[in-house]
Amino acid sequence: MKKVLKIALTVIAFSAFGFCGGLGVHDSLLQLFLDGAFTRWQALGSPPQEVAKLLGIDVLYGGEIAVIVETVSGQAYRCCTSARNQWEVIEPRSTYQSELDCTAPLPPRAPRPPGPIAACIEIVAFEWVTARTRFALLADGTVWTWNQHVGFETSLYIVGGGLLGGGLLGLLISWGMNRRPRASL
C-alpha cells in the first residue's frame, strides 16, 4: 500500500507540474497558432477545363468547405477541401456562403502561396473559433487552399498535453525508482 501511495503522489506531483508547464507555455503556443505557424497550403489541383474565375465558397452539410470555380467554357465545378483533385460538375447558383475577396493579409508566420496568385477568395468565422479558409487560383491554373483553425480545443490540447505529459513522466520516474535494487543494510 505504501508503494502505491508513493507512485500516486509522484504521478500527481508531476501531473501538477505538467499542468503548470502547459499553462506557462499556453500563451506562447497559442500566439504561434494564431500567427499561422502550423498552417500550410494544400493543392486542390484543377478541373478538366481551364479555370476562368473563382465563383465562391460553399459550406456543405457537416461543415465541409468547397470552392466553386467557373471554367472558360462556362461550366461550374466544385472541389471540397477534403477531396483534393476531385472536381465535380455542378449547376452554378447566384449566391454562395461567401464571396469575399482576400483583402486581409495572411498571419505573419503563415507560409506564402506556392506561386503567383491570379484570384483569391476567403471565408472567415470569428465566433467561438478563429477559422479562415482561403482559396487561391494560381497563375498556372491550379487551385490551392490554406486553412487556419484555432478554437477552444487548441487551448485544451496545450494545457491538457502538459497535464498528460507530466503524468506520464511521473509514471516513468516512479517505475524507474521502483526498479532500482534496494541497498541492503
pLDDT tens profile 26-81: 777 778 888 999 999 999 999 999 999 999 898 888 778 899 999 999 999 999 98
User: Hey, where are the domains in the chain?
Assistant: 2-34+153-179, 41-149
14: confidence class by pLDDT, cuts 50, 70, 90: confident
What pLDDT is recorded for position 166?
74
Please identify which residue in the block is written with the cell numbers 500563451: 27
147 φ/ψ angles, rounded to the nearest 5 degrees: -135, 135
Asked if residue 99 has pLDDT above 70, the reply is: no
Would you give the end-to-end CA distance of the chain in angstroms? 22
pLDDT tens profile 139-174: 999 999 999 888 777 777 777 777 777 777 777 777
Instruction: Look up residue 74 and give its three cell numbers.
Output: 462556362
Q: What is the 3-state secondary structure (H, E, C) of 85-116?
A: CCCEEECCCCCCCECEECCCCCCCCCCCCCCC
Q: What is the mean pLDDT of residues 1-20?
A: 76
